[in-house]
Structures are given as C-alpha cells and as structure tokens.
Amino acid sequence: MKRLFYVLCCCICYAAHGQTAKTDIAIIPEPVAIARMPGEFVLPKNISFGTNAAAEAAPVIAYFNQHISKATGASVSAAKSSASTISLTLNAVNESAIGNEGYRLTVTPKEVSIHANKPAGLFYGIQTLLQLLPKEIESATYVPNRRWTIPCVNVTDYPRFQWRGLMFDVSRHFFTKAEVKKYIDNMVRYKFNLLHMHLTDNEGWRIEIKSLPKLTEVGAWAVKKVGYYGTFDPPKPEEPRNYGGFYTQEDIKEIIKYAQDRYVNILPEIDVPGHSLAAIAAYPELSCTPEASTYHVRSGERIMQWNGPKYSAIIDNNLCPANENVYAFLDKVITEVAALFPFEYIHMGGDEAAKNFWEKSDAIKDLMKRENLKDLNEVQSYFEKRVEKIVESKGKKFMGWDEILEGGLAPNAMVMSWRGMQGGIKAAQMKHDVVMSPTTFAYIDYMQGDVAIEPRVYATLRLNKAYQFEPLPDSVDAKYIKGGQANLWTENVYNMRHAEYMTWPRGFAISESLWSPRVKKNWPDFFGRVEKHFQRFDVADVKYAPSVYDPIFNITTTNDLSVKLELNTEIPGLDIYYTFDNSFPDKFYPKYTAPLIVPKEATQLRLITYRGDKPIGRMITVLVEDLNKRATPKK
C-alpha cells in the first residue's frame, strides 16, 4: 500500500507540472515520475564523476564513457575536488520506495546527480540520462559543432516487475558472441535485466559440454538452407553439414561477464524432452526409437505435423523418459551448465513434446506400468520431476514452459507461460512463481504487419497489441507473478539485422509494460516517444520495423462474390493512397476514404501511407490473386 500511495503521489506531482512541460523528453520506459524544470545542463568537454562508491560505480562510469566518447569527443574522469559534472551516490540509508533497481535523477543547470540504493539503480539512471541527450549521442563517429544539452528534470523511477526479459533463440540460427553482446547492449537501453538464451533445439546444440563432446561436434552443425523454415526438402547425404556453431565455455563466461557489467542476468535454456533432435543426432541412444541412429540435426525440413488439436512428430525428437541413460546424460549437462551460469534458475524447456512415438514404445509402456502412470502427460510429468531433482542437486532452481503443468507440476517449479496467460494463472493459483510470456502479446517472432510485405510467419503481433501486455492478471496474488518477457524465436531470422528488426519497436512496448506503472501507460503518448527513438536508432544504425505505418487489411467477399477491401491504420493521422493500374501511388493518386471493391480485371493493388505531404509507410504490392485467397466470405 505504501508503494501504491507513493506512485499516486508521484503521478499527481507529474500532472501538476503538466504534460506539455516535457514535450522535448521521450524516455522509454516511461518513468514513475518526471518533472520538467526550467533550464538545461550543457555537457562539458571534460566530464568529471563524483561518487561515494568508486568500486561499485566503476562499471557504470565505464559504460557512460564508452557510450558518449565517440559522438562528443568528451573525456570522462574522476572528480578531483568536491565539484563534479555528474555525481553518483549510493544511499547510506536504504530508500525502500525505489528498491534495488530504482533511482532519483536530478538535472540542474550546474550539475547532474543520481541517487540509488544499489549500483543497478545508478546504471538505470544513466540510461535515462542518455535518453535525455540529443539523438546524435548515438553516433559511432564524432559529431562536430554540436551543443550537448540535457533538459533540467527531477525523475523518480523504479521498476514494476523484477523479471524483465528478452528471449533470444540462438539455436535455430547461430548468433556469434559479438552479436549476443550487441543484443545485450540494445536491451539495456530500455532497462531489460534478463537475457534468456535458448541454447538447444532440433536445429543446433550451442553450448560446449566437455563431458559430452559430440553435442557440439555433431549437434552444432546442419546443412545451410535459405527460405521459409519448415518447407525445405530434407538434406541429401552429400550436402555439407558446416552451417552453425557453438559457444565454448570460455565464450559463455565472457558473455556472462559482459552482461553482469550491464546488470543483466542470463537464463540458460536446455530444451528437453522435446526439441532434442540435435542431442539425439549426437547420441541416438537417448531416444526411445531405434531408427534414431539415422537422424541428423534439422536444417529446416518438416519434422512435425501441426494439424488438428493434437500435434505429432514425423521423426522422434524426444528424449526417452524410460531410459536411465537420459538422466545420466542430463546430470552431466546440468552439472556443467550450473557451474557456468550464476543465475539461480535453469530453464529446462518442456514444451511441444509430441508423444506419438512414446505411444509405440515398449519401454514407455513398461515405465507407465512400473510407476503407475495413467497417461503420457503423466509420463512427461515423471520426467520433469526427475529433472527438477537434478537441477536442484546442483544448487539451482527449475523452470519450464507451461506444458510442465500437464500431468502434475514438479514441486518447486517456476512456470513460464507462453500459451496465453492461463497456464501462468493456474500455476500462480497453485502458489508457484510465474513469468508471463504469452503469444498473444509477447511473441516477437510473429509478423508485425501485413503478410504482403512482412516475412511470412503463421501469426501477427502488431505494436499496439504488444503494448497491451499486462503481466499481472486480476485473479492471482501479485507476489507469484515475477514479471514477463518477449520471445524471439529465430526459425525465420537468419541474421542480426533481422533480429533487430523483429525486436524493435515491440521491445519498447514490452519494456514499458514491465517497468512503468500500469496507470501511466498511454498508447498515443507512447507512440510519440517511439518515433523519437526511431530517430535515435537511425543515428545508431540499429534496425527496426516501420510496420506500424503500414495499412491494416480486412478482406471479405460481397453477395455477388466481389472482393471488398477495408483499410485502416494502427496510428491516427495517416492517409492511404492506392492504385489498381500497376503504377506506383503517391499523394496525387486516389486517397482511401471508403471500402474498395477490387476490379475484376485488376492484377495487383499498390498502396502507400502518407503523413501530410510526406510518405511514411512502405510501398506495398499485393496480387489480386492473393486478395481473393485471403477474402473471408460474408456472414
């Protein structure tokens, strides 16, 4: 109640200063309270830091120096007297209102000061300070003749949730150590504090396990194919398996240290019993299925049937719960993973374990009889409970995707809810800790706009929908909802630029949902700030998706079977211009004002959005043949 009262007071204080008082400020995620004050601070060429905690503040100062030195040419040093440009202060008496990651930032014409209880709070104060500087601060080269000013403000800020994560799938496509570091650099700008690394799957085993060398000798390599994942022909025996890679244990240590210096924890995921084809290709005896000795690491060919209410596997990509060697294998893996990663949890997957091969296994039937397991969900539950004991024996905590609820939840398991919110609600009601990452709001591998221009995936998640993410359902005790995260699966993400495109700007929306007070979320205000951060990313050469500017299609058929096209936009104030005559529309072409009937002889539709006199959306071309296929019959 005290914190709620404090937030309300801050919001009232913020409102008293007026929304218009901060029109030159665009901070993501929105702080708890920010007040624009008269004046500005001018960043000098020689910046001195004063601090009462030199050792604890050193990574923060180093980060700030690294971030600003190239663009400004400024030098950063420790203050030689009581006077300093920027002061970083750890509170002598803990201020309960701001917690371990909160801060108070004050900018006056003479000084910048940040107060926090812990070094993480100082770091997040620096992130806000950097966002207050002009967008050119993001430049990788010197910006001449630039006056570096910071508006005078008072900011009080702290996160709503302690778990603020992004999941980066480095298994489907391998991303280098340098690329993972870059992903961390981008996420900390927006106060994410957890990187979930999906390290193993059917397409690759990405972490060195010294006691099991074939996991990377065999399991880290596949045949390279490019196109839409899941549609490829199976690789031929003569095709080289040289696409992939893995992190050595020294690489992992380096990434962890890099993250720790930026106050990011890394959650490792070893996805079992399903999604284990890379492990089975290396060690076929881990499968219940004899023909596993012929299996290879997946290159994108179809290996699952997703039709109907019960999906099934075409080849057996599950570890065998009835095989004692599987638990010995996992003990070796978890021993080495636990020794590498300091974070308290290890994620052990548990999702999408197709059970049709288990149905045919005599070993599974014997296990069910011996352990009195009534169905295959209970077989998986038996497996998960044994894996939990292995994880806990290494001094770690066990977590998995919400499928681990089926057949009975392991006693101390933490649940990551991805199939909507219901799994998380159920787990919280059972008094288990929960992280919310539902497909409905947080799956950033989904398309961001229309399939006519986006790389085709089976679902769409627009920016405004991601911004509606509310991790805390009304029906559960808040103490069990630790936070949330967005998940970037990379089946169709082949390179780092596209990983950036898929993450931003939806990562902004998830960041604000996890950090900012619920009462302060406001879509029009948020998108105004997003556009400012687009400009910053342009300077920083970070790729982002402009999909929010593209039209939204609603395609139906009329009574006479004509195709009717209704268009709207995700943000207001945009005009849509179109043509069916194969030419390229601009503002001199017809403007969309009412539903269109597609001419029967037309072959393609082209359209583009404008804001005033300026094009802002992408030129989109849609074949009329595709419009016909997408049309839903009139009801």
Calpha distance 236→525 (Å, rounded): 54
Say if residue 324 is exposed, middle or buried (CB neighbours under 10 Å; 0-12, 13-18, 19+).
Answer: exposed
SS3 150: strand
| DSSP annotation of 385 | H
Instruction: Identify the residue whose tokens are 């100082």.
Output: 122
Q: Which of 106, 87, 116 is nearest to 153 (CA)?
A: 106
Q: Are strands 604-611 and 575-579 parallel, antiparallel or unpaired?
A: antiparallel
Residue 271 annotated in active site: no
Calpha distance 456→443 (Å, rounded): 14
SS3 479: helix
Question: DSSP letters along 549-616, please?
Answer: GSEEEEEEE-TTS-EEEEEEESSSS-EEEEESSSS---TTSPBP-S-EEPPTT--EEEEEEEETTEE-
Tokens read off for 279: 């492990």
Q: Which of 32, 3, 25, 5 is nearest to 159 (CA)?
A: 32
Calpha distance 301→323 (Å, rounded): 28
Q: Which of 84, 139, 142 is nearest to 113 (CA)?
A: 84
Query: Around Cβ 199, how many Cβ atoms within 10 Å?
Result: 22
* Cβ 211 vs Cβ 336: under 8 Å: yes
Residue type, 629: K
* Cβ 155 vs Cβ 128: under 8 Å: yes
* CA dihedral for 567, 438, 279, 490, sign (positive or negative): positive
SS3 416: strand
Calpha distance 140→470 (Å, rounded): 36
Calpha distance 288→271 (Å, rounded): 17
Question: Of the listed 352, 392, 450, 531, which one is catalytic?
Answer: 352
Q: Are strands 221-222 and 345-349 parallel, antiparallel or unpaired?
A: unpaired
Question: Of the listed 101, 157, 201, 433, which one is catalytic?
Answer: 201
Contacts of 433 (CB under 8 A, 6+ apart): 414, 415, 427, 480, 482
| CA terminus-to-terminus distance, the chain | 50
Residue 185 annotated in active site: no
Start-end of H helices in 133-225: 177-188, 214-217
Residue 275 annotated in active site: yes
SS3 300: coil
Tokens read off for 154: 């008072």
Calpha distance 97→33 (Å, rounded): 12
Q: Which of 317, 322, 225, 226 is nearest to 279 (CA)?
A: 317
Q: Which of 448, 452, 446 is nearest to 490 (CA)?
A: 446
Question: Of the listed 173, 196, 275, 347, which one is catalytic?
Answer: 275
* Cβ 394 vs Cβ 338: under 8 Å: yes
Cα 349 to Cα 25, 342, 563: the distances in Å are: 41, 19, 44
Phi, psi of 325 (to 5 degrees): -65, -25
Catalytically active residues are 201, 275, 352
